[in-house]
Structure 1
Amino acid sequence: MVKIGNIELPDFPLLLAPMEDVSDPPFRRLCKAHGADLMYSEFISSEGLIRDAIKSRMKLDIFDYERPVGIQIFGGDEEAMAMSAKIVETVQPDLLDINFGCPVKKVVCKGAGAGVLKDVDLMVRLTKAVVKSTSLPVTVKTRLGWDENSINIDEVAERLQDVGIQALTVHGRTRAQMYKGHSDWSHIARVKNNPRIHIPIFGNGDIDSPEKALEYKHKYGLDGIMIGRAAIGYPWIFNEIKHYFATGEHLPVPTIKDRVEAARNHLLWSMEWKGERLGIVEMRRHYTNYFKGIPNFKEYKTRLVTTDGRDDLLQVFEDITEAFTGLVI
């Protein structure tokens, strides 16, 4: 069993990564149904929360069926981070996570996300301000360092643990790598094996199959893994990994019916949460992933991304099921 504060997780839990414009309640609901053990909100700007920005406030929506669930915030100002932590506490998530890993320029330029990796003292002050301002367990997600010449995750882990974080997730790339190249989990394993470290350490980066998940579990000895991009359009990956761990065998690949059901549920839940129009429009980015690898699918993809009405879209799903049932992918 893995514990974060009072949160009890199964042995070697599978976490869903917080992903901007992806990890919203409808997507989290789908991943929870397919085996995710712990999930996080999209990252939320501390400044946006304090300004009462509608988009930031909407990201605070959490539901009992997805617990345990964490809210993730980012920012570069101690007072703003402390105030936003108090706001987060009012919606009663199970934990609060700080993003020190986002490599996107618009975040880094504000001295937030991975931008803080260049100033560990500031990272410590920001973390301490959050820990002091909330009774929630505080966790952190970060990267190895700014670039390969400044990998500082060993110092970061020790110092953040010392100011009170209760778990650490490390993406095995530097900020300079963005999402390119390969993640290097050897640095994460070194943190885990540091005798000073007693909090759970989770690894993130490049896990896209049950085989790789098992290989990394044995090779690096971490407390669990976080999965991000591999779950987009493929929420089955969580249960596939768990089944492979337990049996050494693969679950059957999702059928057309499975894919249609997942995409349709994702759409319906998105419309329910965001409103029909916004739910339909924002769902369009996901269809390619749900129906990846299906031959002669272009006509249906076009219909999915151009159809506006709820009932008309549901008819497209019916047509897909009828056209491709029996196809082995």
Structure 2
Amino acid sequence: PEPRAVQLIGTEPDELAEAAIWQVSQGAQIIDLNMGCPAKKVCSVAAGSALMGDPERVSAIFDALVSAVNIPITVKMRTGLDSHHKNAVQMAEMAQHHGLQAVTIHGRTRADKFQGCAEYDTIKAVKQAIDLPIIANGDICTPKQAQFVLKYTTADAIMIGRATQGYPWIFREVNHYLKTGEKLPPPALNEMYETIHQHISGVHQLYGEVLGPRIARKHIGWYGQHLPHGEQLRKSFNHLSEPSAQIDLINHYFDALGIVTPK
């Protein structure tokens, strides 16, 4: 699929520029700078959403990235460091000044992490302040919420994150609702089986026989939230460490639900 976007995280302008150049050589068509991650391991090295508190460094990073490559540079940020220091408008204005092509904003501060509810007033203010495309993010879990966020913020687009975990069908449901105002039915069990089987097999192939099954566990946990007896599936799956055993369990589970699976 295109365009191929790669998100970079870091604090050193020169290092990020080098990384961008390498990614372009590997086929990247958009470079996105992560200024939104609130994870402790990221913020402890002044990266991610911690950059919201260092505008001088951010300015240098923007300049280095735009100068390094001839593809669009975008940024994903938060509303600020905390409720008393919301500076997304200023950071977005800086992005526009340096020639970035789009800004994504998650409606929480760094201090909020993922607690409480996302607020969209700051996103709306950024949209009114600059001319770049604005992408709204945060707590967009249903088609109706997607429609509300687009209308309220007047953003050009939305980004859906955590709501896709275990439910990739949300994208088509949102698209359909925005076009027609009608809700699509949830996916049929046979489609869920095909998606889950392909996904978990891909995880095994990408990460290998040791790490693959470990990573697959969290994905089955997320899928299980949308499946009958999903909690039991999750518990049984978590005891398995062989790729073939995990696939066999998925087949057995859907067989019990009346779905014909490969034998």
Deviations 1:24-74 (A, max 9, x none): xxxxxxxxxxxxxxxxxxxxxxxxxxxxxxxxxxxxxxxxxx321211111
* Correspondence for 1:156: 91
* Inter-CA distance 293–91: structure 2 relative to 1 (3 Å threshold): closer
* Correspondence for 1:118: 53
* Correspondence for 1:72: 7
1:299 Cα deviation (Å)?
4.1
Match of 2:235 among 285, 294, 302: 302
Matches within 5 A, 1:160-309: 160-194=95-129, 197-309=130-242
Equivalences, count: 259
1:137 Cα deviation (Å)?
0.8
1:310 Cα deviation (Å)?
3.8
8 Å contact 1:103–1:115 — kept in the other structure?
yes
Residue 125 of structure 1 aligns with an amino acid whose one-letter code is: A
SS in structure 1 of the partner of residue 86 of structure 2: coil
* Correspondence for 2:34: 99
Deviations 1:251-276 (A, max 9, x none): 11123322222211111112222223
* Correspondence for 2:67: 132
SS in structure 2 of the partner of residue 275 of structure 1: helix
Using the alignment, how far apart are the partners of 2:2 and 2:228 within structure 1? 37
Residue 168 of structure 1 aligns with an amino acid whose one-letter code is: V
* Correspondence for 2:80: 145
Task: Give 4+ residue runs of structure 1 displaced > 4 Å after superposition.
Answer: none
Using the alignment, how far apart are the partners of 1:78 and 1:135 within structure 2? 16
SS in structure 1 of the partner of residue 32 of structure 2: strand
Match of 2:17 among 82, 85, 96: 82
1:159 Cα deviation (Å)?
1.1
1:293 Cα deviation (Å)?
4.7
Residue 99 of structure 1 aligns with an amino acid whose one-letter code is: N
Using the alignment, how far apart are the partners of 1:187 and 1:174 within structure 2? 10
Using the alignment, how far apart are the partners of 2:226 and 2:18 within structure 1? 46
Unaligned runs of 5+ in 1: 1-65
Using the alignment, how far apart are the partners of 1:78 and 1:243 within structure 2? 41
1:129 Cα deviation (Å)?
0.9
Match of 1:108 among 43, 46, 54: 43
8 Å contact 1:259–1:291 — kept in the other structure?
no
Using the alignment, how far apart are the partners of 2:36 and 2:86 within structure 1? 13
Higher relative contact order (CA 8 A, sep 6+): 1
1:139 Cα deviation (Å)?
0.3
Deviations 1:267-316 (A, max 9, x none): 11122222233222211111121121544444433332223444433332
Using the alignment, how far apart are the partners of 1:307 and 1:148 within structure 2? 44
Deviations 1:202-241 (A, max 9, x none): 0100000001011111222110000100001100000000
Deviations 1:62-118 (A, max 9, x none): xxxx32121111111122112212222211211000011111122112111111111
Using the alignment, how far apart are the partners of 2:46 and 2:235 within structure 1? 40
> Sequence identity, in percent?
33
TM-score (norm 1): 0.75
Residue 272 of structure 1 aligns with an amino acid whose one-letter code is: Q
Worse overlay, 166-175 or 279-288: 279-288
* Inter-CA distance 300–101: structure 2 relative to 1 (3 Å threshold): closer
Unaligned runs of 5+ in 2: none
Residue 5 of structure 2 aligns with an amino acid whose one-letter code is: G
Residue 232 of structure 1 aligns with an amino acid whose one-letter code is: Q
Worse overlay, 123-132 or 201-210: 123-132
Using the alignment, how far apart are the partners of 1:245 and 1:270 within structure 2? 32
Q: CA RMSD in A?
A: 1.7
TM-score (norm 2): 0.92
8 Å contact 1:257–1:325 — kept in the other structure?
no
